[in-house]
Amino acid sequence: MLSIWIQNAVSGVAIGLLYGLIGLGVVLFFQTTNLLNFAHISSAMLGAYLCYMFNVTLHLPFVLAMVLAIILVACYGLLLKRFVYEPLAKREGGRLEFIIATMMLSVFLLNAVIVLWGGVPKPFPNVFGDPAKPLIIGSVAIQTHSLWVLGYVTVFVIALQSFFTKTMTGKSLRAVAQNQGAARLMGIDVEKMLTISFMLSTGITALAGILLAPAYFVSLDLGGGIIGIKGFAAAVVGRMNKPYVALLGGVLIGLAENFVVLYASSVYRDVITFAFLILFLVVRKKAEV
Amino acid sequence: MIRRRLIIGILAVALLSVTFVASAAATFKIALVAPFTGSGSILGEYIKNALVLAVDEINAAGGVKGRKIEYVIYDDAASPATALNVVNKAILNDQVDAMFGPNMSSCVLAVNQIAKDNKVPMLVGATSPSFGYDMIGNDYLFRLRADDEVKVVNLVKYAVEVLKLKKPAIIHGSTDYCVVAKNVAVDSFKKYGINTVAIEQVKEGDKDAAGQLLKIKQANPDMLIGLTHEPEAAVVIKQFRSFGFGNVTVLGFTAWGVPAFTDLAGSAADGVISVQGFTPEYKDAKVQEFVAKYKAKWNSMPSDPAQAYYDGVYLLKSVVEKVGFNRTDIMKGLTQVKNFPGVQGSLTCDAKHNFTNFSLISKYKGGVWDIITAIF
């Protein structure tokens, strides 16, 4: 029983880290723009599909494929700013308009991917380890892929935290998010900071998409599935302001899911998990920028 | 002058309309409603390719009773609400003579009443027993593949009678396809006096079944019955292999026997036994002829349920050639189909409006399906 319990915890953390990974991007974007991008998860999908295309279809080395995919998605972030955010901002469109616009954008991108790659999920190469051959410690199986994700998020969260608190660009980004007018008066190049925000958050989410692909396959679930909602939930659990708490939020969701199955029922897994999340949101304090 | 121009204009429009009606009347119009997005999107391409292949072949050979077959294709996104919208459009706007699909049972249940009310014959590849003629009594609804009840019963029979297994655990999805199959499996095991030791659900779109599998492991089963769709099947089998289940035999439903599953699962799929509606590996002359044609046209291999829709178009053609273009006559003609030679063997309309009970039990080994037995 103990080994089952530990295995459940390990598996819960592994899947939760993936939710947290998406949550991190949400927090990053919110922290730097004070906006919610509902097409956030689409960047993950685009990252995975582009990486798949470069690596599997065009036979480029994996690292090169990954870098190209991230650069292209970051460029898409630039277009998102230029053609969605800027026109809205010019016409004094607020956060609500941006949310609605990005919601529609996510549907558009989902359908664009269907047109370009079809609806059939594609297997992602086993670059992060063969899932059928996990690391066995005692009687507990740990996927090497989960270790990659853990390694990445650890480095990333530390880097992100220092970036926001220690570097001038990071501080400027936060200042722009808090008050664009004041930031401009302080001599911060707001346009440049916003461009960095859009490119950074989409590029980082593209990398998350590539890390998710071994578990999620190169599939539409990456761009339109429940992972997006769970990522947002993780970010909100993290109160939208602390990347590492968003990550813990994701892990919490992953653990809740697995233990609901163990102690209650798999049929009610999402019902119980989401009821728990709603309760959490009701009692939590207000999100801060 | 103006009046004269007006009259000429009206006459021109009238003439054009007549031409349009005449050209419309010169075709036999069918609709294909299939999922190209959403949870069943894996199937849409196969279905469309098979249907277009059959239609192109028939049109190249002169059409049906002198008319070319014209088709319109709609995406139902595997969603009953979307299916309802697109079927309304196909029947009311496009005024199709017959309809292929939807391919998801829940969508069939959502739209069958419109087809019935408008007297449009519907030929579907969906396999849930829940919309059989014995259940809903729609004269216009016909099934092109073996229904799931038959397939699950055969799978259970194989597990118990041939493999001599006694402790089943079931992992199933949440759609009608999966839940009905689960109920049939549990009942079938009961008939052998066998109780299912664990039943767990993995929802469509989920990429983690660790909790469910660990719970199943605790029940110590000797077989795992997988009744899910393809992506979840791949998730389950990959995690199943990593948890060291030992000698537990994995038997999967139809979605566990198609490339959409084996491509995603990779080597983890080795050893899975599945009940299949079709496999291109089946060494039957009709099957191989269909596979060759499909491959030549689309440069890819067909997969279940492609064969059903290919059969369906030819079946419909043979009926129209006998009874003409009246939709009620077509419906009656379909009920009288007997021993029609199809890719799925000899097709006959039975009391449930099913044309076939054809299925295969196969084992996946080294990248190919080894066919154990064919059931007609």
With bands split at pLDDT 50, 70 and 90, how would you rate the model's confidence at B157?
A: very high
Percent of chain B at pLDDT > 90 equals: 69
- The SS3 call for residue A267 is coil
pLDDT of B8 higher than 60: no
Q: List the B198-201 sheet strands across, edge first.
A: B198-201, B168-172, B223-227, B249-252, B273-276, B359-365, B368-375
Mean pLDDT is lowest, of B2-6, B167-171, B219-223, B229-233, for B2-6
- Interface test with chain A among B179, B264, B301, by most A beta carbons within 10 Å: B264
Would you call A130 and B267 a contact, using CB atoms and an 8 Å cutoff?
Answer: yes
- Interface test with chain A among B207, B218, B220, by most A beta carbons within 10 Å: B207
Q: Tell me if A288 is assigned to some domain.
A: no
- The pLDDT assigned to B25 comes to 53
User: Measured on CA atoms in the order B113, B114, B119, B125, is the torsion positive or negative?
Assistant: negative
Write out the two tokens for A87: 């026109």
Within 10 angstroms of residue B12's Cβ, the number of other Cβ atoms is: 10
pLDDT of B11 higher than 70: no
- The pLDDT assigned to B40 comes to 67
- The pLDDT assigned to A271 comes to 87
From residue A152, give the alpha-carbon distance in Å to each of A21, A28, A67, A156.
9, 16, 15, 6
Distance between A35 CA and the closest CA of chain B, angstroms: 28
- The pLDDT assigned to B196 comes to 96
Q: List CB contacts of A158: < 8 A, sequence separation 6 or more.
A: none
The shortest CB-CB distance from A119 to any of B41, B210, B267 is to B41
Write out the two tokens for A29: 């974007």
Contact (CB, 8 A) for B142 and B122: yes
DSSP letter at B365 equals E
Would you call A217 and B244 a contact, using CB atoms and an 8 Å cutoff?
Answer: no
* Mean pLDDT, residues B276-283 taken together: 89
Chain A touched by B243 (CB under 8 Å): yes
* Cα(B376)–Cα(B374) distance, integer angstroms: 7
Residues 183-212 of B with CB under 8 A from A: 200-203, 205-208, 210-212
Instruction: For residue B242, list chain A residues with Cβ-Cβ distance below 8 A.
Output: 131-134, 141, 143
- The SS3 call for residue A130 is coil
- The SS3 call for residue B172 is strand
- The pLDDT assigned to A138 comes to 79
State the DSSP H helix or E strand holding residue B63, giving kind and residue range, or none if neither: none
pLDDT per residue as tens digits for the range A15-27 = 898 888 888 888 8
B180: amino acid identity, one letter: V
With bands split at pLDDT 50, 70 and 90, how would you rate the model's confidence at B5?
A: low
* Cα(B281)–Cα(B277) distance, integer angstroms: 12
* DSSP character string of B179-234: HHHHHHHHHHHHHTT---SEEEE--TT----HHHHHHHHHT--SEEEEES-HHHHH
- The pLDDT assigned to B20 comes to 40
Within 10 angstroms of residue B270's Cβ, the number of other Cβ atoms is: 17
- The pLDDT assigned to B21 comes to 40
- The pLDDT assigned to B108 comes to 94
Would you call A141 and B244 a contact, using CB atoms and an 8 Å cutoff?
Answer: yes
Instruction: For residue B35, list chain A residues with Cβ-Cβ distance below 8 A.
Output: 119
Cis peptide before B221 (omega within 30 of 0): no
The shortest CB-CB distance from A120 to any of B42, B206, B243 is to B42
Pairing verdict, β B368-375 and B168-172: unpaired
Mean pLDDT is lowest, of A177-181, A257-261, B37-41, B49-53, for B37-41
Selection from B267, B294, B265 nearest residue B278 by Cα: B294
Contact (CB, 8 A) for B234 and B258: no
* Mean pLDDT, residues B59-83 taken together: 94
Range of the domain at A138: 2-283
User: Measured on CA atoms in the order B163, B283, A120, B270, is the torsion positive or negative?
Assistant: positive
From residue B63, give the alpha-carbon distance in Å to each of A236, B70, B288, B343.
60, 10, 24, 20
Long-range Cβ contacts of B21-26 (<8 Å, 24+ apart):
B26/B67, B26/B68
* Mean pLDDT, residues B262-278 taken together: 92
Task: Tell which CATH classification among 3.40.50.2300, 3.30.530.20, 3.40.190.10, 3.40.640.10 matches the domain B149-276.
Answer: 3.40.50.2300
Higher per-residue pLDDT: B20 or B68: B68
Contact (CB, 8 A) for B90 and B99: yes
Distance between A177 CA and the closest CA of chain B, angstroms: 34
- The pLDDT assigned to B15 comes to 44
- Interface test with chain B among A1, A8, A11, A259, by most B beta carbons within 10 Å: A11
pLDDT per residue as tens digits for the range B330-344 = 999 999 999 999 999
pLDDT per residue as tens digits for the range A110-146 = 889 988 887 778 898 888 887 777 888 877 888 888 8
Within 10 angstroms of residue A288's Cβ, the number of other Cβ atoms is: 10
For B202, which residue in chain A has the nearest alpha carbon?
A266
Q: Tell me if A289 is assigned to some domain.
A: no
Percent of chain A at pLDDT > 90 equals: 24
* Average pLDDT taken over every residue of chain B: 90
Contact (CB, 8 A) for A170 and A163: yes
Selection from A288, A81, A120, A52 nearest residue A201 by Cα: A81
Contact (CB, 8 A) for A237 and A252: yes
* Mean pLDDT, residues B78-91 taken together: 93
* Cα(A136)–Cα(A255) distance, integer angstroms: 20
pLDDT of B14 higher than 70: no
* Mean pLDDT, residues B149-154 taken together: 91
- Tens of pLDDT along chain A (289 residues) come to 677 888 888 888 988 988 888 888 888 888 888 888 999 999 999 999 999 999 999 999 999 999 999 999 999 999 999 999 989 888 877 788 899 999 999 999 988 998 888 777 889 888 888 777 788 887 788 888 888 888 888 888 888 888 888 999 888 888 888 888 888 888 888 888 889 989 989 998 999 899 989 888 998 888 877 888 888 888 888 777 777 888 888 999 999 988 888 888 888 888 888 888 888 878 876 544 4
Residues 262-281 of B with CB under 8 A from A: 263-264, 266-268
* Mean pLDDT, residues B84-108 taken together: 94
- The pLDDT assigned to B87 comes to 96
* Mean pLDDT, residues B100-117 taken together: 92
Distance between B232 CA and the closest CA of chain A, angstroms: 10
Would you call A220 and B37 a contact, using CB atoms and an 8 Å cutoff?
Answer: yes
pLDDT per residue as tens digits for the range B288-328 = 999 999 999 999 999 889 999 999 999 999 999 999 999 99
* Neighbouring-strand partners of residue B34: B75
CATH superfamily ID and name for B9-146+284-356: Response regulator (3.40.50.2300)
* Mean pLDDT, residues B267-277 taken together: 93
pLDDT per residue as tens digits for the range B346-367 = 999 999 999 998 889 999 998 8
Show the CA angle centred on residue B74, arms to residues B72 and B75, nearest 5°: 160
Selection from B355, B266, B269, B349 nearest residue B307 by Cα: B355
Query: A129's torsion region: left (phi>0), alpha (psi -120 to 50) or beta?
Result: left
Contact (CB, 8 A) for A258 and A9: yes
- The pLDDT assigned to A140 comes to 83
Distance between A261 CA and the closest CA of chain B, angstroms: 6
* DSSP character string of A80-95: HIIIIIHHHHHTT--H
Mean pLDDT is lowest, of B34-43, B91-100, B138-147, B232-241, for B34-43
Query: Where residue A115 sits, what CATH number does that domain have?
Result: 1.10.3470
Would you call B211 and A215 a contact, using CB atoms and an 8 Å cutoff?
Answer: no
Distance between A5 CA and the closest CA of chain B, angstroms: 9
**Structural domain spans, chain B:** 9-146+284-356, 149-276
Q: List CB contacts of A96: < 8 A, sequence separation 6 or more.
A: none
Count how many pairs of residues, chain A against chain B, have C-beta atoms within 8 Å.
117
Structural domain count, chain A? 1
